[in-house]
Amino acid sequence: MGNTLGLAPMGALPRRSPRREEPLPNPGSFDELHRLCKDVFPAQMEGVKLVVNKVLSSHFQVAHTVHMSALGLPGYHLHAAYAGDWQLSPTEVFPTVVGDMDSSGSLNAQVLLLLAERLRAKAVFQTQQAKFLTWQFDGEYRGDDYTATLTLGNPDLIGESAVHWVATLNVGSGGAHASYYHKANEQVQVGVEFEANTRLQDTTFSFGYHLTLPQANMVFRGLVDSNWCVGAVLEKKMPPLPVTLALGAFLNHWRNRFHCGFSITVG
């Protein structure tokens, strides 16, 4: 007896249903991207907390929170929220105003506005007793399958004391060079630099910071770049002598190279 092999006709083979291509939905607000994952983790609890919620109307509600802990003094928070009439989804109502004030008079507030069908704006204010501590303004554009956000933090529109910053950009046939310098206060300064060389096909991104410790007569500088290089330099002045001691070390993880040095400056 011989073995026979039968082949089914082409029309009898099961056909794959064509893949249905659906457009990607909008990812939503930038602040909500990690919310689902964060909601899975338990919140840290310590002491005793009592929360009382009260709905005053369809637009306004308040909450009272009393927290007693062994780590600090008892605290009280008053939370108030106002929601407008324009509801785009179960979680989006415009305009929305949210505020939280503690027993010391410090305030955290947010204002959400719908400027157009795809354009949203948010303002965040934080005060410490009677002084403004933080300002932040966000502009958000909702596309069909993307969300673009622009954030402006701590703008001092009156005294111009919160912005000491310099931004530069140079573009030419050989590449581009951009840098940003920001002086946070008298002790902390940061800088970001981007260089792209089209001839060498090389791109470098660097972040550096400058920390001054006036009481210790010390200055610390550090950097991290996209070439896996980490470096730091520590300078120490020796008053009343006109002597400055410096110790530096740099490590390139990609090339496995380490450099260090020591210097003495007189005068």
User: What SS3 string covers the chain?
Assistant: CCCCCCCCCHHHCCCCCCCCCCCCCCCCCHHHCCHHHHCCCCCCCCCEEEEEEEECCCCEEEEEEEEECCCCCCEEEEEEEEEEEEEEECCEEEEEEEEEEECCCCEEEEEEEECCCCEEEEEEEEEECCEEEEEEEEEEEECCCCEEEEEEECCCCCCCCCCCEEEEEEEECCEEEEEEEEECCCCEEEEEEEEEECCCCEEEEEEEEEEEEHHHCEEEEEEEECCCEEEEEEEEECCCCCEEEEEEEEEECCCCEEEEEEEEEEC
In this prediction, residue 69 carries a pLDDT of 81
In this prediction, residue 21 carries a pLDDT of 64
Amino acid identity of residue 214, one-letter, is: P
- Other CB atoms within 10 A of residue 99 CB: 16
pLDDT tens across the length of the chain (267 residues): 444 444 444 444 455 555 556 777 887 776 776 676 667 666 666 788 889 999 999 999 999 999 888 777 888 999 999 999 998 888 889 999 999 999 888 999 999 999 998 999 999 989 987 787 888 888 899 888 888 888 777 655 545 544 477 777 877 778 888 888 888 888 999 999 999 998 888 899 999 999 999 999 999 999 999 988 999 999 999 999 889 999 999 999 888 889 898 898 887
In this prediction, residue 43 carries a pLDDT of 65
Amino acid identity of residue 210, one-letter, is: H
In this prediction, residue 165 carries a pLDDT of 75
Say what the pTM is: 0.55
